[in-house]
Amino acid sequence: MHLLFDSPHLVIWHDCTNHWLYVEWRGQQQLEVIKESCNYVLQNVPLTGFSKILNDSTQAVGNWTAASEWLGRDLFPLLSAVGFTHMAWVYATDFNSRFSIDSTLRCATAGLAIVTFDDLDAACTWLQHADELHAA
């Protein structure tokens, strides 16, 4: 994997083997940090040509529901517009962060296929076969 971005709250890897973007959220998340990080993704990552995101929130903590509506209604359609089609989202082990993920998904609009998982291996397996599953 090739490192694209590294900050205390977010690490983005270009996974050339699996042809997806690996996004790892860390620690406490806040609306402005989330927006700044996601805007980086929107501006720089479409250059990879990938259409899938492995969104790993296992290390995220705390409640960040203040970002739920922005993520679901604004970011997800923009990700779809720049070519992303599938997202495997690995739940946080932290209850508050897990609640925030569910809150975000309730705000999500159509366009990006998002499936949640409790473990990274299951998310990877689904993402590897997502094109086949959606075609069926």
Please write the tens of the pLDDT for every residue from 10-47. Answer: 999 999 999 999 999 999 888 888 888 888 888 877 77
Please write the tens of the pLDDT for every residue from 40-67. Answer: 888 877 778 889 999 999 999 999 988 9
pLDDT of residue 25: 94
**Structural domain harbouring 76:** 2-135
pLDDT of residue 36: 86
Strands 10-15 and 86-90: unpaired
Provide the CATH number for the domain around residue 116: 3.30.750.24
Q: What is the mean pLDDT of residues 66-91?
A: 92
Decide if pLDDT at 135 tops 60: no
Amino acid at residue number 47: L
Decide if pLDDT at 87 tops 90: yes
Calculate the alpha carbon distances from 54 to 11, 17, 24, 121, 132 in Å.
12, 13, 8, 11, 17
pLDDT of residue 114: 94
68 neighbors 99 (Cβ within 8 angstroms) = no
Calculate the alpha carbon distances from 86 to 27, 45, 95 in Å.
24, 15, 25
Q: Which band of pLDDT confidence, cut at 50, 70 and 90, is reported for residue 130? A: confident
pTM of the model: 0.90
**Interacting residues of 47 by C-beta distance below 8 A, sequence separation 6+:** none
Tally of structural domains, the chain:
1
